[in-house]
Structure 1
């Protein structure tokens, strides 16, 4: 059963990598189709300016996407190998499968969606009503990184388990005070990582970014639906 499970995990990782490579090719095709559409409607194609090193545009984020995708898939590969360990408990195996699945899902969905925005940023029509700006990319990437950080924390916990020979630390955070025969446990209250004001500000920024991207998608959809259709008339042969 474990062999079948490991084969399934390996196949899943291979499938995600294949989809990632296929998406690169499809993005190339979309770029060319997009240029043809620009030429048909506007009679011109926006030339992409020279990419300055360090400029956070579509080129910059595409490079980061490749690095992050390869890194996340490598983490998933290692976890898939760990699943083959016959000494692991079902609970540990469940955690490993969950971590691997979340990493692959992030690469195949959210990161792919962001890659499409990078493509739009790199190749845009001149005078486009709703161009994808560098600021748009930065805002969306901030939201993606929230999920990347969450997945990273899961793999950090797995690394801790791996170093502890897959034995979970069940030590309770209690401080015991002994006075002769009597002793009472006293819970240690952990301090919050950030105060309430900072947490509220972070949530507001996240909501604003989400609303901005949603308004932008609706506007682009409305623009596409309002564009007149092109009809080609062919004269009848006499």
Structure 2
């Protein structure tokens, strides 16, 4: 394996491990603190459940991003740590979101509930767009990196004047 390839693989390993450690050591702890503040009636400002849901969505995006990094590492390992060509890179498919179950004995939603459903629907749509944009950027980044390996630069010889 060439030194450039080795350093690229080591960089990917460090990135995946570092991202996972950051998520576990800081982001989940921050989420726990927000949950505790939400339960504390004396907390000021007190985060509401929508704040927690938004933070959790951001955590989910981070988890997905880290999973993609580790998936790429597994593919590299299966390829004997050689760089992957674009057809070998398999895009990881997200499972469909689990629909929320209606509460038993639930009566028709109030106007306030409808607005919450609308805002939640908008939040989920925004999350889907963000996930799609992140995936597209990741694919563009990896394909740009891989195609950069195959670029040849032609420098014409200097022309001499007579």
TM-score using structure 1 length: 0.32
Higher Rg: 1
Tell me which protein shows more strand as a share of its residues.
1
